[in-house]
Copies of this chain bind each other. A is one copy, B any other.
Amino acid sequence: MKLVKAVIRSEMLDEVKNNLQRLGYAGLTVYEVRGRGRQQGISWRIRGNEFRLDLIPKLMVEVVVDDADVADVVEELRKSAYTGSIGDGKIFVIPVEDAVRIRTGERGAEALK
Instruction: Give the interface of A toward B (CB within 8 A).
Output: 1-3, 5-8, 17, 21, 26-38, 40, 54-55, 58, 60, 64, 74, 77-78, 81-103, 105, 111
Contacts and interface: CB of A to CB of B under 8 A. Distances in A.
A92 B98 contact: yes
A103 B84 contact: yes
A36 to B, nearest CB: 6
Given A8-B102, A27-B35, A31-B60, 10 more contacts: A7-B29, A26-B37, A29-B33, A30-B34, A74-B98, A84-B103, A89-B103, A90-B111, A92-B99, A94-B95
Nearest to A87: B103
Given A90-B111, A101-B90, A30 B17 contact: no
